[in-house]
Structures are given as C-alpha cells and as structure tokens.
Amino acid sequence: MQAGSLIVSVFGDALFPRGGGIWVGSLVQLLEPLALNERLVRTALFRLVKEDWVRPQVRGRRSDYFLSPTGRHRIVEASRHIYASTDPVWDQRWRLIVSTPELHAKEREALRSALFWHGFGSLGPSVFIHPSADLGAVFDALLDEGLGALRQSLLPLLAAESGFAGAASSAEVVKRAWDLEQLGLRYTSFVQTYQPLLEVARLHGAHFSSPTGPGEINDQSAFLLRILLIHDYRRLLLRDPELPAALLPPAWPGQTARLLCQELYRRLLAGSERHLDRHCRLADGNTPGPIGASLARFQATDPLHSKG
C-alpha cells in the first residue's frame, strides 16, 4: 500500500466534506493503525505537495495541509464516479480526442496519463476514446493539470456507428481500447475481500456501532475499514471506463462491486464519522465538522452539492 495514494483517499473521502484540511499530527494519529508512521506520512505529504494535491499552511510550529485548487478539482471529478448511485446511460455516441499533429513522446505520455484519469481508452498513439465523458470538462481539466498548451493540438469529436455491414462493432472497439478481462478479475477480487465484512454488518444489525457483542466493531475500525474500502474501490475505478451495460460482458462483476461498496459504506458511515469528530483536528485545535456531503454519497442526488 502506497502512503501517498492512501492519503489521497483520506483527503477525498473523509476530509473533503470537512473543509479539505487537517493538522499533520492528527493525520498521523488517524493512519497509525495502518502501519503508517510519522516519517512515512510526512514524506508522502511532501510528494503530494510537489504533485499539487495539497498545500501546507504553517501555524507556529505546526502545519496544516489543505487540498490545493487542483487537488479539489481532482477530488470533485473522481467523486462523481466513486459515489454514483447508478450505472451511466449511453447515448450511442463515442467521445474521441485526436491529437493533430502527432505529439512528442513526452507530451503524448502526459496526455495519455491525464486522459486515463478520466477513463479514456486508446485506439492508437493519437486517438483516445470514451463512451460518455464530458469533453468540455475534460478540456478544462487538462488546463488545470498544466497541459493547456496541448489543447490547440487536440481535436474533440462526437462519433456514432455508421451501421455499415462488415464494419467494426462497438464491442470490438471496447475490446481494443480497454482490458476488461483483467479489470473484471480485479472487481471479483474486491467482492471476495469485502463481502465477508458486509455479511458481518448485516448479521449485527443495520449499522456498525460501538461494540456490544462478539464480532461487532468500534468507531476506529469503522473509519479504517471505510478508508480501505473507498481506497480499493477508487483504484479500481481509475482503471474503469465505466462503460454502459450495453457494452459490457454478461454478469459484469463491476456492478456487484458497486452495490457492495454502497451498502458497506453506509453501514460504516456513522461510526467512522464519530471517530473523525474525536480525532480530526486542525493545528489550532479546531475540529471541522462535516458539511453533509458524506451523508448524501451513493444517493440519487449529487453528493458534492448537498447541503448539510
């Protein structure tokens, strides 16, 4: 487990609804049970500053870390996918981004990496494809990622199948652009890991709470499980173009994983929020409270604009 990646999950899931900041000592305390000591946390934060995820705010001898504007934008975009309550609906059109002229190798890799974050597959070194991405939002994100200069070399397109006999089908495009077999195996592994925890939650009532009997779980463990659940699910979604059901193989395990994550997250939420209320501090000692976004996650309404 990479410390930096896990800390991004903590900021995105637990801290974003509380203002997006935390005192480094409080973050160390929260993550210590996962074998992340102070040195590892500080080293990871240093790298996240360089990658423009977070920015430090010094208060005397203490430092808070807050999501940067770029970090907040990344969290917002990722959250729309992580906490979605339903599968995407396809309008039968493909979103294409074509580089013209061909980019230099370093520029092409930077573009590929940025578009991969948005779920784009590749049909070659100069053609990137997605079934439902908001091309305007993607172009804005490229500017935020420091790739604005490349936009003048990119041609965004909307395309639909012609229906010509003998032409490649959408299913064949999917097979070429994304490795769904490996992604399906990862989703299956995720379900096998977390299904037993969900069964325990169901056995002991509607929600995990302070332990009152064998097998129940305390608030700290609820927080740790919530972070690991979202961390693992987020890493899966980074590889997932979120294709509509019409383009997926039968019995796609991604849907099973989504439903499992939704239910287990809701059952962990109350206990994990109590733990954050006790241990999430800023350098001045204040405890930022949740604004309501976490409570609306996996609901039909937009969790990022929910009012608490």
Predicted local confidence at residue 306, as pLDDT: 40
Most confident of 72-86, 148-162, 186-200, 246-260: 186-200
Q: Cα(188)–Cα(286) distance, rounded to whole angstroms?
A: 41
Report how far apart the first and last C-alpha atoms of the chain are (Å, whole number): 33
pLDDT band at 249 (very low <50, low <70, confident <90, very high): confident
Would you say how long the chain is, in residues?
308
Predicted local confidence at residue 292, as pLDDT: 61
Sign of the torsion angle spanned by Cα atoms 176, 243, 189, 251: negative
Among the residues of the chain, which ranges form H helices? Answer: 3-10, 24-31, 38-50, 69-82, 105-117, 135-144, 170-177, 180-203, 219-238, 253-279
3-class state of residue 200 by DSSP: helix
Which residue would you say has higher pLDDT here, 117 or 78?
Answer: 78
Residue 111 is encoded by which pair of tokens?
């573009």
CA distances from 308 to 16, 47, 101, 290, 295 (A): 14, 33, 48, 8, 9
CATH of domain 178-279: 1.20.58
What pTM was estimated for this model as a whole? 0.81
Predicted local confidence at residue 299, as pLDDT: 65
Note whether 136 and 116 are within 8 A (CB): no
Taking all residues of the chain, what is their mean pLDDT, rounded to a whole number?
86
Q: Which residues contact 191 (CB under 8 A, 6 or more apart)?
A: 253, 256, 257, 260
Evaluate if residue 2 carries a pLDDT over 80: yes
Sign of the torsion angle spanned by Cα atoms 161, 166, 167, 171: positive
Please return the burial class of 213, using the count of CB atoms within 10 Å of its CB with bins 0-12, 13-18 and 19+.
Answer: exposed
Beginning with the edge strand found earlier in the chain, give each strand of the sheet holding 127-130 in spatial order: 121-124, 127-130, 93-99, 154-160
93-160 and 178-279 agree in CATH topology: no
Evaluate if residue 106 carries a pLDDT over 50: yes
Domain ranges, ordered by start, for the chain: 93-160, 178-279
Q: Cα(230)–Cα(24) distance, rounded to whole angstroms?
A: 21
Greatest Cα pair distance, the chain, in angstroms, is 71
Q: Give the percent of the chain with pLDDT over 70.
A: 90
Q: Give the percent of the chain with pLDDT over 90.
A: 48
**What integer is the mean pLDDT of 264-274?**
92
Q: Which residues contact 80 (CB under 8 A, 6 or more apart)?
A: 302, 304
pLDDT-wise least confident of 102-116, 260-274, 283-297: 283-297
Please return the burial class of 156, using the count of CB atoms within 10 Å of its CB with bins 0-12, 13-18 and 19+.
Answer: middle
Instruction: Pick the closest to residue 181 from 239, 229, 116 (CA basis).
Output: 239
Evaluate if residue 144 carries a pLDDT over 80: no
Top-tier CATH class for 93-160: alpha beta
Residue 179 phi/psi, 5° resolution? Answer: -95, 85
Q: Cα(109)–Cα(103) distance, rounded to whole angstroms?
A: 9
**What integer is the mean pLDDT of 165-186?**
84
Evaluate if residue 215 carries a pLDDT over 60: no
